[in-house]
Structure 1
Amino acid sequence: MFKRISNKYLRYLAIFIYFVIIFVCAIELNFLWLFGYEPDMHDIKNPTISVASEVYTADGKLIGKYYHENRSPIEYKDLSPALINALVATEDVRFYKHGGVDFYSFSTGMLATAKGDKRGGSTITQQLAKNLFATRKRKSQGVMRHIPVIKTLVYKIKEWLTAYKIEHVYNKQQILTMYFNTVPFGNNSFGIKTAAVKYFNKQPAQLNPAEAATLIGMLKATSTYNPITNPERSLQRRNTVLGQMQKYGYLKPEEYAANSKLPLNLDLSYVDDESTGDSYLRQAVEKWLKKWCKDNDYDLYEDGLKIYTTIDSRMQQYAEDAVAEKMKMLQKRFYNIWGNKNPWRDSKGVEIKDFLLKAEQRLPVYAVLTKKYKGDTVQINKYFNTQKKMRVFTWHGERDTTMSSVDSIKYYTKLLNTGMMTMEPSTGKIKVWVGGIDYKYFKYDHVNQAKRQAGSTFKPFAYLTALDNGYSPCDKFTDKPVSINYTYEGKQETWAPNNADFKFSGMEMSLRWAMGKSVNSITAQLTEKVGWDKVVDYAHRVGIESPLKAIPSVSLGSNDVSVYEMVRAYSTFLNKGQKVDPILVSKIVDRDGKTVAEFTLKQEQVISPETAWLMLYMFRGGMEEPGGTSQALWEYDGLWRSPLWKTENQIGGKTGTSSDYVDGWYMGITKDLVTGVWVGDDDRSVHFNSSESGEGSHTALPIFGSFMQRVYADKSLGYGFGLFPKPWVKISKDYNCPSPRMPKDSGEVDSSWVPVDTSAVLPPAVSTEGEKNETKPPR
């Protein structure tokens, strides 16, 4: 046939058109499954509605769902003409003239891009095809997605074909309505109805040209032109859209002039109930799966997945109950201590005078107000001091009240928060995740987002370094003043730490006793012997991922770490020296019931089994050595002279308190579980003012004790009391080192003893933590 065409150029053109037709037909038919899914006419007439993904506990209880609750549809009559005009003028000026694909705009766009002025050529209908049928997602592309140029050509042709089908089934008004109902506007806003309410507290039909242009301007890049976070760029983009509306006759010159002079006039007063059904755990799962979803091309909010976590619903409830019980008491204690005084203080205890002003300035609305009132502080202050109706969190339930914004800042700043995580080291499964006291009012997750000074919970890494480099639990140091000279960032520094009581006993102590009693001076001496850089190395080796300053005070917890990291690191000791990657999700099933992912234990031997077992023996010192900082657990039923101890139970752990009692920690270890608890205020300037109220033994430890009471009482969990494991290998180092006034261990790792007179060891109410005032990096 082609030979009959005598003109070679026409012949080449005919051949090209022939192969284009064949190529397009192959894409439409998904020939040999090379090109992936292409929506047919049935799909076009019945668009697949996104299906919520569901999250379950390990025992099958629904935790929450992921879905775009803001996609509530609107009809064409609900759209402001300004919205439609702004969209057409900016995104597709020939919208009413083409049949889905505008080859004229496509060609001019290609020429402009070639000249350096990158310009899109997609029509509104093509964009709808992309949004509604995910034509660019990996699952829709087939094998050809691996060929760079072909990949782009395939998804472009798919969009053209889909756009033509859409135009064949729907009229222009219906297409515009579907577009506005599906397009994202940033800040978790999907669809024009949600966006109009979120940014302007108006319905779409009420938007004026300037407001419409602001929202349409965001479509080019929702983050770059976000009116909340980038008001200047948003304003410029809005005026560009208004300019397009004037250019194509949708605005008169005087209307353009009037609208382009207006400020953004955002109204952020509307608060939707986005947190309904939400939780720290649900958010943690989403974050944990973020990379997996990206790598495997899944959307949690649309693909109808069933996600099974490792969380035990009963243990989770026990943890939340323990947190509610103890945090309510701690908050009452905090209020009683400060009374009518403001608790925001510097390191010398002096009130920070500009604290509230700086808190106001950190709020997103402050930048909006500054722009709106052109920096007029009188007007800004009036806004913050105006009384408003609001609902607030209290430990007696939510309460409707009236207060100003500045009073709200004062109120919430004084509320203490917490983070708690429990893991089963042998499997890597996370059993408990409590990100804070109430997700609805405090979105920040204190398990893996917050990083705080670890205080003395970091000391075990210094003792780990020592045990793995020739020392034994029985090696002795003297509690005496210490002065360490070192160089940091090119400067000569001297560090001379104090003990908690600012006294040095002069006593000779074993390393186990020193760690159990949390003696700063001996920890500092040990750190100097083994090297603070080595302490950093070992901390990273067992599971700490945060950057750590290699300075002498590192062992006293001067660096910021998360609860998640600390639980992971402590789990290495109970897991025979193998570091584990914590598992939060065990299995994912798609909407058809097919298992698409299973997550199993990944572990790496990072310290020897002998050193790991010796560290467990060291941790027992917190309960068994004189002055051990875990001994406040004696106050809890079932944790000392109770049936739990008579039936041979052992608990290891470490308290921690950062400078000025800002952060309280407890890391608890049983034969099966590792639990980390942090307590403090989100603002580090707000804290307790004494060891009797603010030490980790008085803030975080009680939560652990209350939680373990509940866990031990529930026999169905399978986490009964018992002894730490016997040595996994032969122990070559001396560890059977009795301390003064303590009975000598029998030498058998599974032996258990009960002091005849526990009062001769340490009264239950006494705590001798050795952390306070010592976690600040030396100056």
Structure 2
Amino acid sequence: MSNRPLAGAGRLVPLLRAGLIAGIVIAGALYPLAALTGLGAKATAHAVEQKTNILRDALPAETSYLYAPDGRTVLTMFYEEYRRYTKLSDMSPNIQQAIVAAEDSRFYQHHGVDPKGVARAFVANSRSGGVSQGASTLTMQFVRMALRDSARTPKEVQEATQQTSLRKVKEMRMALDVEKELSKEQILERYLNSAYFGHRAYGIYAAAQIFFSKTPATLTQAEAATLAGLVKSPSEYDPVTSDQKDATGRRNYVLDRMTQLGYLSSDAATAAKAEPIRLRLTDPPNDCASLPEKYNRWGFACDYLKNWWSAQPAFGENRLERMDKLRRGGYRIVLSIDPKMQEAAENNVGAKDSTGSPFANGIVLAEPGTGRVKAMAVNRNYSLDVSENGLSSNPEAGPKVKANYPNTVAPLLGGGDLPGYQAGSTFKMFPMLAALNAGMPLSTAYDSPYRYQSAIYDGWAPSNASGAMTGRQTMWSGFGKSVNTYFVQLEEKVGADAAVRLAEQLGLRWRTDVDREQASPGKAKKWGAFTLGVSDATPLEMSNAYAAIAADGRYCESMPVQSISNRDGNPTTYTTVGGITREVAKPRCRQVVNADAARAATDAARCPTGDTPAKGSCGGWSTADSVRGTVGRPVAGKTGTTDSTRSAWFVGYTPELAAASFIADPDNPFNAVGDGQSQIPVNAVAQTLRDALKGQPTRQFTPPSDAISG
């Protein structure tokens, strides 16, 4: 009997010890919760409030898609994290159940923080002497991922991911707050769209695509368990290995947990575990170099899109922010390229010079009245692989600089940072249009001797290309024959600075130091050679400038898109000065010259092409008189060559379409094209306009008034 109390005491010791341990565990578990009030909460309340607002409203980064004009054919994607937001209703119940089983079996019982899980982790970590088990619920993990996705600075990224007690306290507090704002279904949906599964797959849509080439809605139980098992450690359980032992073991663990939670019968789990992991891998394209081979040469239009995007204030305050939006914003972008016109352009430049030629022969088509780019083609492959390219022949480039043929991603057609090419007499359009807009008639006549010495331009003495250009010329004959001395006199009368400023209003930009200096207010008045096209320009600029003339003087900014919608499917908008909200992809147009002046310029511009003007006479011959017969409809335009024919151009237009083509060596401007190849751009434009407009009704140019015709 005397031993019974001792025996009772002996039994009591383990109980007391167990109670003490339990108390410590509970205290340890509740400490973070208690810390959410009092000093800890006061110290973090403001930050938590700010972050909670972000979490409640922000969505994770999402891939932007670039579509062909049909709005269905995906050309490529832009992303840093391949991800596409998917509603929970579009996910198989299998993946919903598998992720709960794998990451948080008490997800539907707790309110953001699981005290039992905290206690269990405390015991496990105490025994291991380190962090062997976490206590993060799905909600807490979502909080962490959302903070990471919303981080914009390295400091914010560090704060969102660093392993500290303070971060854990904030995370738990925010999880509790989030569960007050969002339903379990909303949290699960956002979690599954944020989680990283490895192999650049962010979110369940990307994971299903990359690993199984299917949508989340069609994932089987075994596939869902495989993906759910990856979240804990994407590299450790990676199934894309020759040995899938770890991946299979983790998948089977998830299937067992699904069975324990009642999501899966034992028989179904056994059958699923018997399956090997059958992957069907997809490598999602990213950026312009990833376009399908069929659309390879659309890469130049894609590249122009990126450069255009980076200049749009609607997408951010600077280039970095704008490109970040493109790669994270989940936009749906439809290119303005017309497949029929693009094919015509590719056929008619590719047939003139092979991709292996040092001379780039390119063409751009623009739509009058909208500015939308309808085709961009050049005799190059759009590719980052320059291993087979030769070296540049330009000594100024250096001895080891690769040439840009046959492969390149350089913006040879415009829209990037390359200066372009001297455009020759295509620039005669600008002083003529400036003169017409100032009220000078088409009949304005000047005598054109073989040599003409300008007093205004400090004795500069341009010459004509041929003695046949002498005699009295009007705008019709002077433009048709490309008489230099006529246009210098016309430019003197209207003012070279007026021609320069008009060219700027029609979209031209000065990219070299020499051009910027000559175009400056202090020097533009004496830039007599401007009318001869000594400035660099791109076919993108020139096609759009001439498109404005075709549109009766209404200039529209060059635009590579048909539409842009946000991730919610609504058109992307921006606010202009005055608080007016506009769609980003809508044409942005303004009247630059009066309609009658533009119609008069077109009437004169019919002379170079062999077409018949409505009012005057072309004087008997022209520089590109085969164009009208090839195009088969009313057409206007202008040829252009530079000194020693280092480059050659033709810009032509109908009422429906404007096209600018050039040929030059982008690597070495001193490598002359030569007179023998100067006809190539003429034919490229004529044949492309013919093919692109085939089957469309023939439209006529509107004649100028008698008053401006003179």
Query: Which residue matches 1:613?
Result: 599
Q: Does 1:602 align with 2:588?
A: yes
Q: Is the partner of 1:459 in helix, strand or coil?
A: helix
Change (3 A) 1:707 1:274: closer
Asked if the contact 1:55/1:309 (under 8 Å) is kept, the reply is: yes
- 1:444-477: per-residue Cα shift (whole Å, max 9, x none)? 1122134111100001111112222342111221
Q: Is the partner of 1:327 in helix, strand or coil?
A: coil
Query: Which residue matches 2:426?
Result: 457
Query: Which residue matches 2:67?
Result: 55
Q: Cα offset for 1:132?
A: 8.8
Query: Which residue matches 1:586?
Result: 562
- 1:238-294: per-residue Cα shift (whole Å, max 9, x none)? xxxxxxxxxxxxxxxxxxxxxxxxxxxxxxxxxx99833261112111222223433
Q: Does 1:556 align with 2:532?
A: yes
Match of residue 276, structure 1, among 276, 287, 290: 290
CA–CA distance in structure 2, aligned partners of residues 593 and 273 of structure 1: 21
Q: Cα offset for 1:587?
A: 2.0
How is 1:345-494 mapped onto 2 (pairs within 5 angstroms)? 394=356, 415-434=358-377, 437-440=380-383, 441-448=407-414, 449=416, 450=418, 451-480=420-449, 481-486=451-456, 493-494=458-459
- 1:412-471: per-residue Cα shift (whole Å, max 9, x none)? xx5211332111112232211225522121211122134111100001111112222342
CA–CA distance in structure 1, aligned partners of residues 289 and 38 of structure 2: 59
Q: Cα offset for 1:629?
A: 1.5
Q: Cα offset for 1:685?
A: 4.0
Q: Is the partner of 2:664 in helix, strand or coil?
A: strand
CA–CA distance in structure 2, aligned partners of residues 274 and 581 of structure 1: 23
Change (3 A) 1:569 1:504: same
Q: Is the partner of 2:327 in helix, strand or coil?
A: coil
Change (3 A) 1:97 1:673: farther
CA–CA distance in structure 2, aligned partners of residues 587 and 274 of structure 1: 18
Query: Which residue matches 1:702?
Result: 683
- 1:394-426: per-residue Cα shift (whole Å, max 9, x none)? 4xxxxxxxxxxxxxxxxxxx5211332111112
Amino acid at match of 1:19: K
Structure 1 gaps of 5+ residues are 1-13, 72-95, 100-125, 139-151, 169-177, 184-203, 205-271, 329-392, 395-413, 488-492, 736-779
- 1:482-515: per-residue Cα shift (whole Å, max 9, x none)? 012456xxxxx431112113x3654212221111
Q: Does 1:133 align with 2:125?
A: no
Q: Is the partner of 1:610 in helix, strand or coil?
A: helix
CA–CA distance in structure 2, aligned partners of residues 505 and 153 of structure 1: 70
CA–CA distance in structure 1, aligned partners of residues 40 and 443 of structure 2: 86
Amino acid at match of 1:629: T
Asked if the contact 1:671/1:725 (under 8 Å) is kept, the reply is: no
Amino acid at match of 2:423: A
Query: Which residue matches 1:198?
Result: none
Change (3 A) 1:49 1:528: closer
- 1:12-51: per-residue Cα shift (whole Å, max 9, x none)? xx976443354355346x2xxx444599xxx9xxxx7853
- 1:649-684: per-residue Cα shift (whole Å, max 9, x none)? 310000111112111111111011111112111134
CA–CA distance in structure 2, aligned partners of residues 506 and 26 of structure 1: 81
What's the TM-score once normalised by structure 1's chain length?
0.51
Find the structure with the greater CA-based Rg.
Answer: 2
Q: Is the partner of 1:134 in helix, strand or coil?
A: helix
Query: Which residue matches 2:651?
Result: 667
Q: Is the partner of 1:524 in helix, strand or coil?
A: helix
Query: Which residue matches 1:288?
Result: 308
- 1:46-81: per-residue Cα shift (whole Å, max 9, x none)? xx785352332256443332245999xxxxxxxxxx
Q: Is the partner of 1:494 in helix, strand or coil?
A: coil
Q: Is the partner of 2:369 in helix, strand or coil?
A: coil
Query: Which residue matches 1:257?
Result: none
Change (3 A) 1:689 1:293: closer
Change (3 A) 1:494 1:694: farther
Q: Is the partner of 1:478 in helix, strand or coil?
A: strand
CA–CA distance in structure 2, aligned partners of residues 558 and 620 of structure 1: 23
Q: Is the partner of 2:316 in helix, strand or coil?
A: helix
Match of residue 671, structure 2, among 687, 692, 704: 687
Q: Cα offset for 1:596?
A: 3.5
Asked if the contact 2:76/2:290 (under 8 Å) is kept, the reply is: no
Asked if the contact 1:419/1:445 (under 8 Å) is kept, the reply is: no
Match of residue 657, structure 1, among 631, 641, 655: 641
Asked if the contact 1:57/1:312 (under 8 Å) is kept, the reply is: yes
Asked if the contact 1:323/1:437 (under 8 Å) is kept, the reply is: no
- 1:710-766: per-residue Cα shift (whole Å, max 9, x none)? 1232x2xx4x33321245xx542235xxxxxxxxxxxxxxxxxxxxxxxxxxxxxxx
CA–CA distance in structure 2, aligned partners of residues 36 and 167 of structure 1: 11
Change (3 A) 1:723 1:49: closer
Q: Is the partner of 1:701 in helix, strand or coil?
A: helix
Q: Does 1:711 align with 2:692?
A: yes
What's the TM-score once normalised by structure 2's chain length?
0.55
Q: Does 1:315 align with 2:280?
A: no
Q: Is the partner of 1:514 in helix, strand or coil?
A: helix
Amino acid at match of 2:683: P
Query: Which residue matches 2:488?
Result: 524
Query: Which residue matches 2:77?
Result: 65
Q: Is the partner of 1:418 in helix, strand or coil?
A: strand
Aligned residues: 449
Change (3 A) 1:316 1:659: same
CA–CA distance in structure 1, aligned partners of residues 657 and 287 of structure 2: 36
Change (3 A) 1:17 1:275: closer
CA–CA distance in structure 2, aligned partners of residues 531 and 301 of structure 1: 46
Query: Which residue matches 2:474?
Result: 510
How is 1:12-161 mapped onto 2 (pairs within 5 angstroms)? 17-23=40-46, 25-27=48-50, 30=52, 34-37=53-56, 51=63, 53-57=65-69, 60-67=72-79, 133-137=148-152
Identity %: 21
Q: Cα offset for 1:632?
A: 2.8
CA–CA distance in structure 1, aligned partners of residues 571 and 438 of structure 2: 46
Asked if the contact 1:58/1:310 (under 8 Å) is kept, the reply is: no
Amino acid at match of 2:300: Y
Change (3 A) 1:131 1:562: farther
Asked if the contact 1:55/1:282 (under 8 Å) is kept, the reply is: no
Q: Is the partner of 1:57 in helix, strand or coil?
A: coil
Asked if the contact 1:54/1:304 (under 8 Å) is kept, the reply is: no
Change (3 A) 1:20 1:710: same
CA–CA distance in structure 2, aligned partners of residues 523 and 667 of structure 1: 18
Q: Is the partner of 1:65 in helix, strand or coil?
A: strand
CA–CA distance in structure 2, aligned partners of residues 294 and 471 of structure 1: 44
Change (3 A) 1:325 1:445: same
Asked if the contact 1:63/1:282 (under 8 Å) is kept, the reply is: no
Structure 2 gaps of 5+ residues are 1-36, 84-128, 133-140, 173-195, 202-234, 236-285, 384-406, 511-515, 574-582, 612-617
CA–CA distance in structure 1, aligned partners of residues 302 and 369 of structure 2: 24
CA–CA distance in structure 2, aligned partners of residues 130 and 664 of structure 1: 56
Asked if the contact 1:456/1:556 (under 8 Å) is kept, the reply is: yes
Asked if the contact 2:82/2:200 (under 8 Å) is kept, the reply is: no
